[in-house]
Structure 1
């Protein structure tokens, strides 16, 4: 009997570099319209993961937390765009709606830090990732797929990490 449901994956990262590499694997699998929700306290590694995610997706842009500007856009050489939203400073989910998330999703994947703050306006189908601080180097990552697209994405991601579904 499995410990986790089939739509979930738990992983321990032993260093910031490993967290970036996990992000690279996930980023390489993202498509236009994908939503990746990140949850975790300050210092949990959300932005570190997004650095790898953007690189794996194909962008060489510098990745930083968009806490004060709300949304960063990273581009690939082919012009495709990846959107990185930080919901930490949003007063309500309504403020996120005003950013026109649907338009972003029409153009590329969307990664949301502090996604729990805007959960009520997010698509029901999404990949949710909780990062927890274990110690100075290590992080626990809990992935949960919501919807068939994300179950497939999580299966592909699992295979890319460990070689089995």
Structure 2
């Protein structure tokens, strides 16, 4: 299991690179954590590690943002926090993105749990009493 303790924002880029390296064959990453745990901030670092120079922001209202790497490969960033019904994910065409072979970074995946593919990387961010974060990841089958 992948596990890192992060005590400052400056460490995120290195941890993001390690995460991508650890799960080189995977493309769907589901990010779990309480509100304010740092999911979007960590996803910004993951996008940088994947080679994107785009402005990475939370797609809270749009539900999905698309970023590009320097090689013009797509990275899809989902935020399902505001989703009320699974049909909204179908309306978005989530399957086209999830099964595209492109990187898919999903915030609030628990809102669409029945729709997630069988194989994903679950990334959990836990806030510690000292405000550090423990980031763990494992492949879910």
Query: Is contact 2:13-2:49 (8 Å) kept?
Result: no
Indicate whether 1:93 and 2:72 are aligned: no
* The one of 28, 32, 38 aligned to 2:31: 38
Q: Gaps (5+ residues) in structure 2?
A: none
- CA distances 1:31-84 after superposition (whole Å, capped 9, x unpaired): 6x7110001111101011111110111110011111111111110232210000
Give distance in 2, aligned partners of 1:96 and 1:52.
25
- Structure 2 counterpart of 1:3: none
Give the TM-score of the pair, scaled to structure 2. 0.87
* The one of 54, 76, 80 aligned to 2:73: 80
Give the TM-score of the pair, scaled to structure 1. 0.75
Give distance in 2, aligned partners of 1:60 and 1:39.
24
SS in 2 for 1:110: strand
State how many pairs are aligned: 139
- Structure 2 counterpart of 1:122: 116
Q: Which is greater in Rg?
A: 1
SS in 1 for 2:100: helix
Indicate whether 1:10 and 2:10 are aligned: no
- Structure 1 counterpart of 2:46: 53
Indicate whether 1:142 and 2:136 are aligned: yes
Q: Gaps (5+ residues) in structure 1?
A: 1-7, 148-165
Aligned-residue CA RMSD in angstroms? 2.0
- Structure 2 counterpart of 1:160: none
